[in-house]
Amino acid sequence: MKYYSTNKSVPEVSLMEAVTKGLAADKGLFMPERIDKFPAEFFENIHKLSFQEIAFEVAKKFFGEDVPEQTLKEIVYDTLNFDCPVVHVNDNIYSLELFHGPTLAFKDVGGRFMARLLGYFLKENNEEVNVLVATSGDTGSAVANGFLKVPGIRVFVLYPKGLVSEIQEKQFTTLGNNITALEIDGTFDDCQRLVKSAFMDRELNEAMVLTSANSINVARFLPQAFYYFNAYARLREQGVENDIVIAVPSGNFGNLTAGLFAKRMGLPVKRFVAANNENDIVYQYLQNGKYEPRPSIATIANAMDVGDPSNFARILDLYNHSHAAIATDMKGYRYSDAEIRQTIGEVYLNYGYTCDPHGAVGYRALEEDLQEYETGVFLETAHPAKFTATVEAVIGEGNVPLPVKLAEFMKGEKRSVKLGKDFEGFKKFLLNKVS
C-alpha cells in the first residue's frame, strides 16, 4: 500500500517510509492510497470474534500488503494484551473503556502497535531511530512505555512544563534507559511546533534519523480503528444493532479520524460526535465552515488542549474538503470546565459510573445529541485515576482508588531536561546527542 501526503506535492511513499518519516516532506500528513471496505457478512458475524481477532482483520486491510501475515498477527496480538470493553452506563448510553492498557489511556493501543511495527522495520534495516513525541499528557507515557528498552530506538518526550498531571508526568519522566523527558517552558502547541520544525530541519535530518510517534504517524493513528469495530461487536452481543452514535473526546482528532476511517470501511455507525473542551476550533468549523486555529487554553481535560488539531488535515482530505459532507458524518459540541465538572458529578451520582474529565465531555455530548431511539457510545479515553485531584474534588476524596499499575509509577524519581520553547535550543540539544 502506498501513502500519499495530504498536501499532495511530494510522491507517494511505502508504509515503511511513512512510519519512519512520520510527516511527509511537504509537511502534509500521510494517508493510505485506499481504504478497503469489509463485505456485509463481516459485520453479520463480527460479534462471534474476539477483540484480537477483529483487530487482526482490520490490520490486514491496512498493513497486509507490507507486513508478513504471521508477523502482523504477532504485532496485533502482542499490542492488545488488554481489553477495551463496552460498559453500560444508563438507558441508551455505553462507555467504551480504553484505559485498561499499561498506561491507562487509549494511546496505549497506537503507541504499542507503532513500537512493534517500527521495531520490525528496524530489524530489517539495522537502523538507529530517534522518536520525537510531543505530549499533552497521555501520548508521552504510552509511547515511552511502548518503546522502553526497544533496541535501536531513542525516545524524546516533549511536554509542557506544569501543564500535565503529576501521575501523567511520572509515567514518562521515571523510566530512564532509552527514554528522555524534555520539560518545555511553553504549551503543548509549542511542543508540537518544535517537533514539526525538527522534521523540517535539513541539518538535523542529516545528522540523525528522526520520526514522530504522535497521531500524525500512520502506525499510531490507524490502529485506533481497531476498537471502533470491537465496540460494534460488543454492542451486538448486548443486543444493540442500529442507530449507533459514537462520541469522541477530541484534541488532535487522531482518535475521531480513525473512527471515520472505520465508517468508510463499512462499520455501521450512524454518525460521530466530536466533543471538545473550550478549545473548540473544530466545533466552530462545523458550525460555520471556517477553520481558524488559535493558541490553546488550559482546561481540566488537558489532553484535549489543542489549538490547531493536526489530524484535521486528514478529515478534510477524506471528505474532499466538503464541509457539507463532514458536517453530515460529524456533529460538534463544546463544554466549559464547569460543565465538565458538573457532568462528572451527575454521572457518578445518578449511575454510579466514574468518568474522567475527557470521557465526561463525550458523555455530555451524547446526552445532548442522542434521539430516544438511538444508542450512544462515548470513548472513555483515560482512567479517572490519572486525574484524581480533579475528579475527587467533584465526587469526594477517596472515591477514585489508585490502580496498582499507576501506584508503581508514583514510586519512581522524576528526571527531566528543562528547555525553552525556541527551536535553536532544542536543535542544539539533539545535535549534542549524536556528536
Ligand X SMILES: *Cc1c(COP(=O)(O)O)cnc(C)c1O
What residues line the site for ligand X (CB under 6 A)? 105, 107, 137-139, 215, 249-256, 303-304, 358, 381-382
The least CB distance from residue 107 to ligand X, in Å, is: 6
The least CB distance from residue 360 to ligand X, in Å, is: 11
Between CA 261 and CA 274 the distance in angstroms is 15
The residue ranges of DSSP E strands in 170-256, in sequence order, are 179-184, 210-212, 244-249
Burial label for 413, CB within 10 Å (0-12, 13-18, 19+), is exposed
Closer to ligand X at the Cβ: 72 or 275?
Answer: 275
Closer to ligand X at the Cβ: 121 or 147?
Answer: 147
Angle at 71 between CA 68 and CA 76, to 5 degrees: 120
Which of 21, 107, 170, 421 is labelled catalytic?
A: 107
Closer to ligand X at the Cβ: 121 or 221?
Answer: 221
The least CB distance from residue 228 to ligand X, in Å, is: 13
The least CB distance from residue 239 to ligand X, in Å, is: 28
Which phi and psi (to 5°) does residue 99 adopt?
-115, 25
Comparing CA positions, the residue from 115, 61, 55 lying closest to residue 82 is 55
Closer to ligand X at the Cβ: 215 or 230?
Answer: 215
CB-based contact 84:112 (threshold 8 Å):
no
Closer to ligand X at the Cβ: 108 or 240?
Answer: 108
The least CB distance from residue 384 to ligand X, in Å, is: 10
Between CA 162 and CA 139 the distance in angstroms is 16
CB-based contact 79:59 (threshold 8 Å):
no
3-state secondary structure 234-271: HHHHCCCCCCEEEEEECCCCHHHHHHHHHHHCCCCCCE
Between CA 401 and CA 204 the distance in angstroms is 45
Scan for cell 507515557, then name that residue. 141
Closer to ligand X at the Cβ: 46 or 58?
Answer: 58
Closer to ligand X at the Cβ: 67 or 140?
Answer: 140
The answer to whether 433 is a known catalytic residue is: no
Scan for cell 473544530, then name that residue. 282
The least CB distance from residue 422 to ligand X, in Å, is: 25
The least CB distance from residue 273 to ligand X, in Å, is: 13
| Helix/strand/coil for 272 | strand
Residues found in the chain: 435
Beta strands at 30-32 and 3-5: parallel, antiparallel or unpaired: antiparallel
Q: What crossing angle do the helices spanning 51-63 and 69-79 adopt, rounded to 10°? A: 130
| Residues that are catalytic | 107
